[in-house]
Amino acid sequence: MGFSMIKDNEKTLNRIHVVADGVLLVLSYILSYFLRFYSPLRYLIHFDPNAGRYDLVTYLGILYLLIPGYLIIYNYCGLYGLGPVRLKRLVLWNIIKANIFGTVYFTFILYATAENDYSRYLLFIFFIVNVIFELVFRIVVRNVQRTARKKGYNQKHVLLVGYSRAAQSYIDRLLANPQWGYAIYGILDDNVDLDTAYKGIKVIGSIEDLTEFLRSNELEEIGITLSIDEYSKLSRIVNLCEKSGVHTKFIPDYQDLLPTIPYTEDLDGLPVINIRNVPLTNFINRVMKRAVDIFGATVALILFSIPMTVVAIIIKTTSTGPVIYKQIRIGKHNKEFKMYKFRSMEIQPESKEKKSWTTFNDPRVTKIGKFIRKTSIDELPQLFNVLRGEMSLIGPRPERPFFVEKFKEEIPRYMIKHQVLPGMTGWAQVNGYRGDTSIRKRIDCDLYYIENWSLSLDFKILFLTFFKGFVNKNAY
């Protein structure tokens, strides 16, 4: 299968995808109309002052403006051309985000045309129906593509140049994700014997053989995976690949030093890669995040004031000791602060507490403590830490000094998390890494958050926290 055929197939699939989205928008809109006016749902929303009921044909008239606008919004929100790595993680969020913008656009059209007789409830129903339709459609398409690529259809044949840690990491990911559509042709290397193999992928020649492989025109992609001590060959290899017109990727052998998304500066034509891009070092970003923290913490304290009062009374009447437990944690710039929690355990010596984890069926945990730990209610006093500027609503979870000293020696890049304020919840927590879970995977999530921070990511984490962040199966 040639490179041009694969590219043509991808373009055709993308066009079909756009047309299918247009059809789905029409179907969602028609279904929303019938749900609003002809289903039992109409009895629940019978009072709608803006529902001077038009017939279906009149309602369909607005689609001439609606569909092009929605498709442009879909493209802007990244629903087309998502890479395989990002698709699974972002598709639901991008669909919801696109439909939020779409609803704003829909509302704007109604006000711009001074149309007062459209049902505003229909907008809400259309939002829900469209999110469901789009999500189901993309899941079906993704599964069909995965099945087709596993059977060998529309695959990209890639040749790796260089047998290294980078090559092994790249092979690991491609083999673990056959739905991405890559078939690894082999590896070229000057330092290992022919037929040396990694997970079934063999070394099939030396780097000098690259010219012959390029001339055969059977490859769609070259992956340069040289070991770091062979980078003197890099310029010649890139020139050969570009002369042949084959798409070329460079997988660095020093990826452990680079951030998830490298941040490159242009210094008068000289590209400079920042080893760590931290968006929250920007003053405006910090001000926006702090404003959200103050507003969010204030609202949360008002909303949870009664439950917090009830929990405080129960703790006070069922066990001896203070209601609020203060524990030393390490925050931004490695500074210590006292983190507040509802006390969920019996009083114990500080020397013992600061060096031990809570274990399953831990006898130190009180009866009310088991409940508030499982539901994360014990974390609510940290809203005061947020107001004091010691914590944020969203960020890496802070750790005790003993474990910080331990982990910084055992886990690479552990201390990077202290470049930002710690949070009540974070990317690691909504991905299931809470309590007694992998510290390394938790740090990977923290680094992703630090390098990719945005207000939309904060809102996404806050949204996900309500669905899977509060109840913690790993909290003992």
Question: Residue 156's pLDDT is what?
Answer: 80
Q: Is 443 within 8 Å of 417 (Cβ atoms)?
A: yes
Residues 126-141 have a mean pLDDT of 90
Residue 2 has pLDDT above 50, yes or no: no
394-395-399 Cα angle (round to 5) = 130
Instruction: Calculate the alpha carbon distances from 365 to 50, 94, 400 in Å.
Output: 55, 41, 19
Question: Residue 78's pLDDT is what?
Answer: 77
Residue-averaged pLDDT of the chain: 83
pTM of the model: 0.54
* The amino acid at 369: G
Task: pLDDT band for 5, please (50, 70, 90 cuts).
Answer: very low
Residues 249-264 have a mean pLDDT of 73
Q: Which of 142-151, 270-279, 285-294, 439-448 has the lowest mean pLDDT?
A: 142-151
Residue 340 has pLDDT above 90, yes or no: yes
Question: Residue 259's pLDDT is what?
Answer: 58
Residue 34 has pLDDT above 50, yes or no: yes
pLDDT digits (tens, 9 = 90+) for 355-371: 555 555 566 778 888 88
Residues 26-36 have a mean pLDDT of 90
pLDDT digits (tens, 9 = 90+) for 222-248: 999 999 889 999 999 999 888 888 889
CA distance 30 to 390: 51
CA distance 260 to 277: 9
pLDDT digits (tens, 9 = 90+) for 65-105: 899 999 999 888 878 754 444 445 567 888 998 999 999 99
Task: pLDDT band for 383, please (50, 70, 90 cuts).
Answer: very high
Contacts for 253 with CB less than 8 Å, ≥ 6 apart: 162, 164, 165, 166, 225, 226, 227, 228
Question: Residue 359's pLDDT is what?
Answer: 53
Ordered structural domains, the chain, with CATH = 3-150 (no CATH), 156-257 (3.40.50.20), 283-469 (no CATH)
